[in-house]
Amino acid sequence: MHLVRDVLDKELLDREEEPMGRVDGLIMQLGERSQPRITHIVVGGATLWERVHPAFGRLSRRMSRWWGPKRDKEVRIPWSRVKTAGRDIKLDVEGKDTGAIDWELWIAHHIIEHIPGSGHEEADDGS
Amino acid sequence: MEVKIELLLGAKVRDVNGEKVGRIEEIRVDRSDNALLVEAYLIGASAVVDRLSAWTLVRPIKGLLKSRRIYSLYDVPWQDMDLTDPRHPVLRTAKSDLHHAR
Amino acid sequence: MKKILQITLGIVTSVGGFLEIGSVTTAMQAGASFGYQLLWAVLLGTLCLIFLVEMSGRLAAVSKHTIVEATRERFGFPFFFIVLIGMALVSFLVLVAELGGIGLALQILTGVGFPWWAIPVSFVVWVMMWKGTFSLIENGASMLGLVTISFVVAAFKLHPDWGTAAHGLLPTFPDDKKANYWFIAVSILGASISPYLMYFYSSGAIEDEWDETYIPINRIIAGIGMSFGGFLSMAVLIVAALVFHPKGIDVEKFEQASLLMTTALPKWGFTLFALSMLFACFGAALEISLSIAYFFAQGFGWNWSEDLTPSKDARFCLTYTVIIMAAAIPLLFGVDPIKVTIISMALTAVALPLAIAPFLFLMNDPIYLGEHRNGWLSNTVVTIVILLSFVVAIIAIPLEIIGS
Amino acid sequence: MRLKRPLVLAVTLLGACKPPTPEEQMDSIKSWLATSEMVAEGWLRHTNPDKYSRQTLELSHETLVQISTDLLSSLPPAVDSAALDSVLASSRGHIDQMARLIAAKNSPDFRRQLDSLRADEKTVEQLSNGMPKQ
C-alpha cells in the first residue's frame, strides 16, 4: 500500500457511512530502533492549512480561537479504528463523537437552523 | 517522536556525506493486523508518477521527455532514513550505496 | 423503455441548459462584428465540450467519484487549493453575469433597471436552492430553457445563405480588427467549455446514482445533447450576423442585444428573447451556485447533496448562501453584467488548463477507471484544444487591453 | 511579498488600457445611430414595447453625447470636424425628440424625426470616409 496515493486526502466515512471529512494529515510514531508506524489520522483545521503554507496554519489557529466551535486539540482518530481503506476510508466510529464534524454541527446550529425551511423543525417532529 | 507525514512529503533528502538525493514523494506501508507499518521512503520522479497513478499517460510520451530521469526511483528502507529533524531528513548511508529500484 | 426516457430527458436538459449569458453574448458579438467568420470557434468549443462532459460522466459512473473529489485525492490539498481558488473566482464572476442577465431580461420587459432586480433575483435563486431538489433544478430549469429553441426558429426564418455560413466553420484570418477577432474567439471557447458544467454534470451523475451501465447513455447524452446545444449557439451567431452585421451594430449593451429577434419574429421576437435570456440565465445561475458549493463540499469532504434538507448539510448550504448573496452586491452598484460576462469568459479560457490538466490525469488513471480509461482520441482532442485556447488567450487578452 | 508582483502587473495593465482610436469611436457612433434607427423602426412596427424603446433611445443619446465629445477632441485633421460636430448634434436632437414622442404616441412626428436621422446618418457615413485607416 502507498500512503500518499491510497490514504492521504481520502474521504472518511463513519459507522453510518456518513462523510466526516478527509484524511487531512497522518501521524507517524518514530521509535529509537523500532519500525515507524502510522498511529493517527488527523482531520481538519490548522493541519490542512499548514500544508498550503505555515502562515495559513497560523491564521487558521488564530481564527478558530475567536470564532467557531471551541476545541483545545486537533481531531485525531487512531488508525486502529479503520475498518477498510479502499475507495474511501471506512471507520468504526461515530462521526459526532470524534469532533471531526464539529464545524458542520456548529454551522447547522448557529446559522442554518435560524433560517426558515432548513428542515430542522421537521426532524424534531419526527423524533 | 511524532512526525507529520503530510509535511514530510516533498522534504529534500541528503545522504550521509551531505550530497543531495531528492525529495520524499511517497511512503510504502504494510497493513497488518490493525497496524500500519512504514517499510520504505520513495524518492525520485518515478515515485511522483506512481503517486499520481499516471503511468498510462507518461509511458506513451516518455520519448518526448528525452530522459531516463522519469524512471529514477530510490526505495529507501526505513532503517536507512534518519528523521530526527523531519524538515531535513538524512540518509544513514551514502547515495552511491542506494540501489535504483527501477 | 426506462432508458430511452432517461436518454430523452438527458438530451432535453442538456439542450435547455446549454445557453446562458456567456454563450449568447459571445456568439452575438461574433456575428455582429464578423458575420459568419467565427462559427468555427463555436464548433470547436462544442466539440471539446462533448468530450469533456462525456469524460466527467464516465469518471463518475465508473469510479463513483466526481472530478473534484478525485482531484483532491490524487493531487493533494495544496494543489487542490490552487484549483479551488481559480475555479471559485471564475465561477463567481460567471454567477454575477448570470444574475445580471436575469435582471437585464426583467429590465427590458418591465422598464425597471437591473440593479433593482439584484436582490429579488438572488433571493428567488436562493429559495430554489434551499427548498428545491436536484431533479427539480436539473429538469425544471432546463425545461424552461427550451424556449431558447426560438433562436433556431429565428435563424431559419431569416433564410441565411447556408453555403456562406458553412465557410465560417473553417477558421480564417480576419482582414482588420485582428485583436478583437481573436479576443472574441477566445471568449467563445471560454463560454462553450465552461468548467462549471463539468462539475455540475459529474456531481449530477453521483446524485442520480449512475453506475457502469450508464456509460453508453452518458455517451449519447453528451454527444447529442451538447451538439444540439452547440446548434443553438450557432443560431444566435447566424441571426446576429444577418441582423446586426449589415447595419454595423456592435453589441456592447444588452439593449442592443434585445433587438436580435425582432426582424425574424416581429410579433413575439422581443418577448421571446427576453424570456430566453431570463430562463437560460436562471438555469445557469442555479447550476453555477450548485457547482461552487459542490466544489467546496467535495474537496473538503463535507456532507453534500441538493436532495438533503439544509440542516443535514449545513456547510454545503452555507457556501451557496454566501456566494449568491455576494454575487448580488456588484449588481446593486450597477456593474454592467455584459462587461462582467466578457471578462469572465476570457478568464475562463485562461483558467481552462488549471481545470482540465488534472482532469486529463484522472481520466487515464487505471485505479479510478480500469478498462474505461481514455483512449488516445479523447486525450489528443482535449490536450490540443486546451493548449490552443490557452495560448490564444494569453496572446489575445493583452492585445485587447493594450491595443494592437 | 509574493502577491506584490502580480498586483503591480495588474495595475500597470489597467493603466495601459488603450483609449479607443478615432476610428473605433467612429464605429461606435455609427453603431449607436444604427441602434437608434432599429429601435425606432421597431417601435413604429410595434415589435418592441414603449418603455424599452424610450429607455434605449435615451441610452443611445447619452452614449452618443459621450463618444462625440471624446471624438471631436482627437479628430485627425483630414476630417471636417465642424461639419461632423453639427451633424452629430442634429442626430442627437432627433434621437432625443423620438424618445419624447414615444410617450405622446405621436407616430407621424416620430416618423419625420426618423427620416431626418436617416439623412444625418448618411452624412456621418460620408464624413467618416475621410478618416485614415489604421
Domain assignment present for D11:
no
CA D47 to chain C, closest CA, distance in angstroms equals 5
Within 10 A of B101 (CB to CB), how many other CB atoms are there? 16
Instruction: Say yes or no to pLDDT of D10 above 90.
Output: no
Ordered by where they begin, the domains of chain B are 5-97 (2.30.30.240)
Whole-angstrom distance, CA of residue B51 vs CA of residue A119: 42
Q: Which residues contact A24 (CB under 8 A, 6 or more apart)?
A: A9, A42, A43, A44, A45, A47, A48, A51, B6, C77
Confidence of residue A127 (pLDDT cuts 50, 70, 90): very low
Q: Which three cell numbers stand for residue B6?
A: 503530510
D13/C398 Cβ within 8 A: yes
Candidates C69, C310, C313; nearest CB to A11 = C69
Q: Identify the residue with better confidence: A62 or D133.
A: A62
Write the residue in A7, A36, A50 that is nearest to B7 by C-beta.
Answer: A50
Looking at the predicted structure, is the pLDDT value of residue B66 above 70?
no
pLDDT at A126: 38
Contact A5 B51 (CB under 8 A): yes
Residue C360, C-beta contacts closer than 8 angstroms, at least 6 positions apart: B57, C374, C379, C382, C383
* pTM assigned to the model: 0.93
User: Chain B residue with minimal CA distance to C370?
Assistant: B56
Closest CB from D45, D48, D59 relative to C253: D59
Query: What is the rounded CA–CA span in Å between residue C302 and residue C72?
Result: 13
Q: How confident is the prediction for chain B on average, in pLDDT?
A: 86
Query: How much is the pLDDT for D6?
Result: 52
Helix axis angle, C269-300 to C150-157, nearest 10°? 140
Contact D47 C176 (CB under 8 A): no
Count: domains in chain D? 1
What chains are in contact with D, requiring at least 3 Cβ pairs below 8 Å? Answer: C
Domain ranges in chain A? 3-118
Reference D97, options D121, D114, D85, D83; nearest CA is D114
Q: What is the CATH number of the domain that holds C293?
A: 1.20.1740.10
Instruction: Indicate yes or no: CB of A25 within 8 angstroms of CB of B5.
Output: yes
- Cβ atoms < 10 Å from Cβ of A114: 9
Contact C364 B52 (CB under 8 A): no
**A31 falls in which pLDDT band (50, 70, 90)?**
confident
Residue D62 lies in a domain: yes
**DSSP E strands, C207-338:** none
Cα–Cα distance, C279 to C196 (Å, whole number) = 18
Q: Which domain holds residue C289?
A: 2-403
Joined together, the cell numbers standing for residue B10 give: 516533498
In terms of pLDDT, which residue wins out, C13 or A81?
Answer: A81
The residues in C 316-355 lying below 8 A from A, measured between CB atoms, are 317-318, 321
Tell me if chain D has a CB within 8 Å of the CB of C110: yes
Judge whether C349 and C151 are in contact, CB under 8 Å: no
**Taking CB atoms and an 8 Å cutoff, what residues of chain C touch D10?**
none
Element (H, E) at C275: helix C269-300
List subunits contacting chain A, requiring 3 or more Cβ pairs under 8 Å: B, C
Tell me the chain D residues in contact with residue C266 when contact means C-beta distances shorter than 8 Å: 45-47
HSE (side-chain half, CA atoms, 13 Å) at B91: 27
Q: What is the CATH code of the structural domain delimited by A3-118? A: 2.30.30.240
Domain count, chain C: 1
The DSSP string of C179-235 is: HHHHHHHHHHHHHHS-HHHHHHHHHHHHHTT--GGGHHHHHHIIIIIHHHHHHHHHH
Domain that holds residue D78: 22-128
Within a domain: residue D10?
A: no
Residues of D in contact with C176 (CB under 8 A): 133-134
Higher pLDDT, A6 or B68: A6
Q: Does a structural domain hold residue D5?
A: no
Cα–Cα–Cα angle for C21, C27, C33, nearest 5°? 125
Query: CA-to-CA distance for C272 and C280, rounded, in angstroms?
Result: 12
| CA–CA distance, D7 with C278 (Å, rounded to integer) | 36
Q: Which residue has the cell 488567450?
A: C393
Helices C39-63 and C376-402 pack at an angle, to 10 degrees, of: 130
Closest CA–CA distance from residue A24 to any residue of chain B (Å): 8
From the number of C-beta atoms within 10 Å of its C-beta (0-12, 13-18, 19+), residue B35 rates as middle
In this complex, which of C367, C376, C379 lies closest to B53 when CB atoms are compared? C367
D68-97, pLDDT tens digit by residue?
988 888 777 777 788 888 999 999 999 999
Q: Which of B72, B71, B88, B89 is nearest to B80 (CA)?
A: B89
Nearest CA among C347, C374, C327, C314 for reference residue C126 = C327
Q: How would residue B101 be classed by pLDDT, with cut points 50, 70 and 90?
A: low
Give strand pairing partners of C63: none
Digit-by-digit pLDDT tens for chain C (404 residues) are: 678 888 888 888 888 888 999 999 999 999 999 999 999 999 999 999 999 999 999 999 999 999 999 999 999 999 999 999 999 999 999 999 999 999 999 999 999 999 999 999 999 999 999 999 988 888 888 889 999 999 999 999 999 999 999 999 999 988 878 888 999 999 999 999 988 999 999 999 999 899 999 999 999 999 999 999 999 999 999 999 999 999 999 999 999 999 999 999 999 999 999 999 999 999 999 999 999 999 999 999 999 888 888 888 999 999 999 999 999 999 999 999 999 999 999 899 889 889 899 999 999 999 999 999 999 999 998 888 778 878 888 887 887 777 54
Contact criterion met (CB < 8 Å) for C270 and D49: yes
The CA distance from B68 to D129, in Å, is 64
Residue D52: inside a domain = yes
Split at pLDDT 50, 70, 90, the class of D15 is: very low
| D17/C402 CB distance under 8 A | yes
